[in-house]
């Protein structure tokens, strides 16, 4: 039995020429518009691929997101692979494209079983099966164990009613089987099989790559113990967080280095959540003399100079903070459980440890006033960070905000396939145009501030990592 897995594109694009990259950068200089064509490996799909291969299945993977392929190319790939099972993993941002791919596949290859998973399908299983009858099975929540059970059921021509964690149609009725228990011991899950994709991955901002060398991402934990109302991680894993052992993580890192990877992004919800574990991981990296560059995310309430300095010694170059907002009222609305003062201290601690510090912000909550938006934008400019990201609030299925807004306002449920911004549906006291203009102006003023440019230029001259990025991208090509 052959299984093909697809990570659908969120949008379609062609590789950019030098002229197009220059145009993007000049557009940023003009109005602050940022195009971040960041391409990260589809770790969820690669985890599934590894589990399937270990179980003896023939597996192929298409990352149509990094390729930006249009439907015709994807369809041709499916025809070439000719799978028995086609699995599509989708977030809200690429769900509609994923469903179009599934529709075309079912039309062209009616005997192929279509299995859909990911965040969007998990939270909107009922709607997915009702609107897209060509979908045979929805895998809810984590997929490694569930997908193996689904495949065994198809292979042995048995009924699906014994498989936990799936939804499907039986006798014209939508059936939701009991939820599968989360995988608590994630050490036993095979590490992602990156040989299944041949694409290059990178981080980009305004058409410029900020990746030093061969790049990938890893996760050292699953889930998050917090309940931020704009995030669906809590609902996906039931507020259960599982951690890989430091030894297990460093074993994977060692393998990656052996395969030529130089840059690794740790994309946990908060790498520093358990400081002793983070410290142990750093100690193992140093003990094994592993030389690579890495970055991670951290909550501000688990940040400290002590842990950041240990991370720096182990090769960490940057830390990303979800600062979200400068107003305590809005932070409380998001149930973020942090304060602006903690954000200031966290950024300061990272800078003292000589880590690049980037903060991200969300503006445009339904209750957020224009004055509060401007306060956050001013806060973002004044924090003396190395990078900043600012965006309007998006409300996605599975989040608490969705449950509070969309369910109470049935007219908003029509956005279940895409999510929505409160500002675009008239829920804020300001217009979408005003908000987007204010964000663009702030980003432009942040990055083009003469003091910022001077400070970052001086810092880059003394930072071997940044010097090499500059040399490779702008001098060495």
Q: What is the pLDDT of residues 154-197, one digit of tens each?
A: 999 999 999 999 999 999 999 999 999 999 999 999 999 999 99
Q: pLDDT confidence of 26, banded at 50, 70, 90? A: low
On average, the pLDDT of the chain sits at: 91
Q: Name the pLDDT band for 408 (thresholds 50, 70, 90).
A: confident
Calculate ∠ Cα 166-172-178, nearest 5°: 25
List of residues 6+ apart from 267 with CB closer than 8 A:
40, 43, 217, 218, 219, 296, 297
- Give the CA angle between residues 151, 154, 160 to the nearest 5°: 95
Identical fold at 2-16+45-176 and 210-475?
no
Q: Does domain 210-475 have CATH number 3.80.30.20?
A: yes
- Reduced to 3 states, what is the DSSP secondary structure of residue 34? coil
Average pLDDT of span 99-118: 97
Mean pLDDT across the stretch 418-440? 97
Annotated domain spans of the chain: 2-16+45-176, 210-475
- Asked if the model's pLDDT at residue 304 lies above 80, the reply is yes
Q: What is the pLDDT of residues 110-152, one digit of tens each?
A: 999 999 999 999 999 999 999 999 999 999 999 999 999 999 9
Say whether pLDDT at 13 is over 90. no
Lowest mean pLDDT among 8-12, 79-83, 173-177: 8-12
For domain 2-16+45-176, the CATH superfamily is Cobalamin-binding domain (3.40.50.280)
pLDDT at position 448 over 70: yes
Q: Which two tokens stand for residue 387?
A: 């990078």
DSSP state of 425: G
DSSP notation for 71-137: HHHHHHHHHHH--SEEEEE--GGGHHHHHHHHHHHHHH-TTSEEEEESHHHHHTHHHHHHH-TT--E
Run of H or E residues at 221: strand 221-222
Looking at the predicted structure, is the pLDDT value of residue 474 above 50?
no
Q: Give the 3-state secondary structure of residue 29.
A: helix
Rounded CA separation 248/277 (Å): 12
* Mean pLDDT within 61-70: 93
State how beta strands 204-205 and 208-209 pair: antiparallel
Of residues 461 and 435, the one with the higher pLDDT is 435
207 has a pLDDT exceeding 60: no
Q: What is the pLDDT of residues 256-284, one digit of tens each?
A: 999 999 999 999 988 999 999 999 999 99
- What is the C-alpha separation between 226 and 340, in angstroms, rounded? 18
- pLDDT of res. 12: 58
Token pair of 8 as six digits: 């659908």
């Amino acid at each position: 039995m052959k299984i093909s897995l697809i990570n659908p594109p969120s949008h379609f694009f062609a590789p950019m020429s030098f002229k197009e990259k220059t145009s993007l950068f000049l557009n940023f200089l003009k109005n602050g518009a940022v195009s971040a064509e960041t391409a990260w490996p589809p770790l969820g799909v690669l985890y599934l691929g590894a589990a399937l291969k270990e179980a003896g299945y023939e597996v192929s993977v298409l990352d149509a997101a990094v390729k930006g392929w249009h439907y015709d190319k994807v369809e041709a790939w499916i025809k070439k692979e000719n799978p028995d099972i086609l699995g599509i993993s989708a977030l809200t941002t690429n769900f509609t494209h994923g469903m179009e791919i599934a529709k075309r596949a079912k039309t062209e290859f009616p005997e192929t079983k279509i299995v859909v998973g990911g965040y969007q399908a998990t939270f909107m299983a009922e709607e997915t099966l009702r609107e897209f009858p060509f979908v045979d099975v929805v895998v809810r929540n984590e997929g490694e164990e569930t997908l193996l059970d689904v495949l065994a059921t198809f292979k042995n021509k048995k009924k699906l009613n014994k498989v936990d964690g799936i939804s499907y149609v039986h006798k014209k009725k939508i059936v939701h089987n009991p939820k599968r228990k989360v995988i608590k011991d994630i050490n036993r899950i095979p590490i992602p099989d990156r040989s299944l994709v041949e694409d290059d991955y990178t981080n980009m901002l305004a058409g410029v790559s900020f990746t030093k060398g061969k790049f990938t991402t890893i996760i050292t934990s699953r889930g998050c113990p917090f309940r931020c109302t704009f995030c669906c991680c809590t609902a996906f894993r039931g507020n259960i967080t599982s951690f890989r052992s430091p030894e297990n993580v460093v074993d994977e890192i060692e393998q990656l280095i052996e395969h030529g990877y130089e840059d690794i992004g740790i994309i946990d919800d908060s790498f520093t959540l358990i400081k002793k574990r983070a410290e142990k991981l750093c100690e193992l990296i140093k003990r094994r003399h592993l030389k690579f560059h890495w970055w991670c995310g951290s909550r501000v309430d688990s940040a400290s100079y002590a842990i950041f300095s240990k991370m720096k010694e182990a090769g960490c170059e940057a830390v990303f903070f979800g600062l979200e907002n400068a107003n305590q009222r809005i932070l409380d609305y998001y149930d973020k459980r942090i304060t602006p003062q903690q954000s200031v201290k966290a950024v300061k601690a990272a800078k003292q440890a000589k880590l690049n510090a980037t903060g991200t912000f969300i503006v445009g909550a339904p209750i957020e006033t224009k004055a509060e938006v401007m306060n956050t934008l001013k806060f973002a400019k004044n924090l003396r960070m190395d990078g900043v990201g600012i965006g309007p609030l998006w409300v996605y299925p599975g989040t608490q905000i969705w449950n509070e807004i969309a369910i109470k306002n049935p007219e908003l449920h029509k956005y279940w396939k895409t999510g929505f911004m409160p500002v675009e549906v008239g829920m804020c006291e300001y217009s979408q145009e005003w908000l987007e203009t204010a964000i663009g102006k702030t980003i432009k003023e942040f990055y083009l501030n003469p003091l910022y440019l001077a400070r970052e230029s001086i810092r880059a001259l003394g930072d071997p990592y940044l010097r090499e990025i500059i040399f490779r991208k702008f001098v060495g090509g």
